[in-house]
Chains A and B, each alone.
Chain A
Amino acid sequence: MRTEEAGAGRTARPPTGRRSGGLRERLELGTARIPFRVKLGLVWIGIFVVLGILFALARFDTPWLRQHYWFIFRGLPWTVAISVMAIALASILALLGALGRISKNSIAVGLTGFYTSFFRGTPLIVQMFLIYLALPQVGIALGGPWARTLTLDPLRAGVIALGLNYGAYMTEIFRAGIQSVGHGQSEAAESLGMTYRQKMRRIVLPQAVRVIIPPTGNEFIAMMKDSALVSFLGTVVAQMEIFRRAQLLGRRDFRPLEALLAAAVMYWVLTTVFQYFQGRLERRLSRGYVREVAGKPEVPPH
């Protein structure tokens, strides 16, 4: 009975007003001819309409936001800068960490083991404060130039903490990536007479990158969001990133909804844009691994 109805719904006009079946089934039958993508679009529009109504009820102050969004927006370069610097640091640390973890040197294994264990086992915000507030104490105890060197401004402390923390997680990503390159590749490189360094740089890492890039992209997206934590170290006005600006502005004018929502949307757009570029990069990296050229599947040649 059911299957007959479903079949009819696909070919002829769906039966309307029938009491059989729940609301969900009737909805499915009634919209069977609308393409999935269109329905998906309608759902998204629906979500935004509902949210819009909610915000309107909360007296969303659009004119205020129009006046002030630029102040928040100017934090975007700082959010990006913090994340880029921190992911660069994290990548270097992750590479060293991964090479250390797979090495046969006990010192390297011990150091990297401590590093990953500590920075994965403690909260990021604690690490930030350790580096910002606790490190100067060590520097003063050491005396001399250390007092200055280990006293960091909030931005630097934040970047270093983010880099250390993410580097510890990414060590595993890099290790897996390096180990995903087959042993035969190493042997082929070695049999040509390559040194360890040449083998890594020319043969192993370029192939590992393919495996490393997608999860690292995810880490970078997470990092852009976690960069908001730097706010808690109290950056100076000129260097404030998105969240700190939104927080201060919203508090000053009692417009937390407007300011924080604007900040959230900026983060959202930022991560979405990055995801798009990451997808393109991944496709580019798959060169040499995909058989088809320009979408034309190829018969393996002989």
Chain B
Amino acid sequence: MDAQPQLDGPVVVKVEGLHKSFGQLEVLRGIDMEVRNGEVVVIFGRSGSGKSTLLRCINFLEEPTSGSIEVDGIRPAGGHRTRAVREQIRQLRMRCAMVFQEFNLFPHMTALGNVIEGPVTVKGMPRETAIPLGEHVLEMVGLADKRDEYPIRLSGGQKQRVAIARALAMEPKVILFDEPTSALDPELIGEVLAVMRSLATELHMTMIVVTHEMGFAREVAHRVAFFHEGRILEEGPAREILAAPASPETKRFLDAVL
């Protein structure tokens, strides 16, 4: 399938001069990135290269050391988290959903409960409205029949699909995927990737995906970015980069993964 680059859409995520250090360790050393509406960007690179940290900074799960992050026009001020900054971050997060490597489903809620929790609690949506919405997004990930199951009774792949449905239910502008298939058994990876692919091709959802699944990158991503030691070493259309990487680092990594 051929994904059409939509480089004319509005910019949804804008990262400028992002630095992040943990103590002495500088994990991100100046990241600049723009993601446009409907674009799928795959970030790849060795572990420890700062891929996950970038996603966590975009969602403000990590406080950037310097630089700015803007999602859908919202740019929280850095520094001390005053009440106003916390509210900005909250507004940003409502537009920027996250899917975690370890799913992080709420174990005390059913699949449907997990999915409608955000709309009901965060957006104040009435339950009567949220339930059909929740059923709809569960159907989109192929789990309509699991609506009343608790996470413990779901397989890893099903859990991650519920987590994707939970992200979708917030009707976000962008979904960040932090190694969504890395905690899964090999035979369960396909179902999760299939759901992600349908989000890209059918919903034209804006997605930033950190993954080692280069097949997914080649088929679905408009753009890929290779991370190396806290910087984007190489970036461009998926097919070009994966077929003919310019930097020897990228080539070495791709040879090892593919």
Contact = CB atoms under 8 A, between A and B. Distances in A.
Interface of A: 182, 184-185, 187-195, 198, 202-203, 206-207, 210, 287-291, 298, 300-302
A187 B104 contact: yes
Interface in B142-158: 150-155, 157-158
22 contacts: A184-B102, A185-B106, A187-B61, A187-B104, A188-B98, A188-B100, A189-B106, A192-B117, A192-B121, A192-B166, A192-B170, A193-B122, A195-B90, A198-B122, A207-B108, A288-B108, A288-B150, A289-B107, A289-B150, A289-B152, A300-B153, A302-B188
Interface string B54-80: 000001010000000000000000000
B97 interface: yes
Task: List 7 A-B pairs, minimum CB-CB distance, nearest first.
Answer: A188-B104, A288-B150, A184-B104, A193-B94, A191-B98, A193-B93, A192-B118
Given A182-B104, A187-B104, A192-B170, 19 more contacts: A185-B104, A187-B100, A189-B106, A191-B98, A192-B97, A192-B122, A192-B166, A193-B94, A198-B121, A203-B117, A210-B108, A289-B152, A300-B153, A301-B153, A301-B158, A302-B157, A302-B158, A302-B187, A302-B188
B109 interface: yes
Contact of A190 (B61, B91, B102, B187): B61
A211 to B, nearest CB: 12
Interface of B: 59, 61, 86, 90-91, 93-94, 97-98, 100, 102, 104-109, 117-118, 121-122, 150-155, 157-158, 166, 170, 187-188
Contact of A288 (B90, B118, B151): B151
Nearest to B105: A188
B108 A193 contact: no
Contacts of B59: 191
Nearest to B118: A192
A191 B152 contact: no
Contacts of A207: 106-108
B93 A206 contact: no
B109 A288 contact: yes
Given A184-B102, A191-B93, A192-B93, A301 B107 contact: no
B170 A193 contact: yes
Nearest to A191: B98
A300 B157 CA distance: 12
A83 to B, nearest CB: 28
Name the residue among A188, A189, A192 with the largest chain B CB count within 10 angstroms. Answer: A192
A207 B104 CA distance: 13
A120 to B, nearest CB: 31
A198 B94 CA distance: 14
Nearest to B107: A288
Contacts of A187: 61, 98, 100, 104
Contacts of B154: 301
B191 to A, nearest CB: 9
Contacts of A198: 121-122
Contacts of A288: 107-109, 150-152
A288 B108 CA distance: 5
A209 to B, nearest CB: 9
A185 B117 CA distance: 13
Contact of A290 (B86, B108, B152): B152
A278 to B, nearest CB: 19
Contacts of B122: 192-194, 198
Given A192-B118, A288-B151, A203 B98 contact: no
Nearest to A184: B104
Given A188-B106, A193-B94, A207-B108, A301 B155 contact: yes
A287 B102 contact: no
A302 B155 CA distance: 5
B133 to A, nearest CB: 14
A194 B86 CA distance: 10
A192 B188 CA distance: 25
B155 A193 contact: no
B179 to A, nearest CB: 13
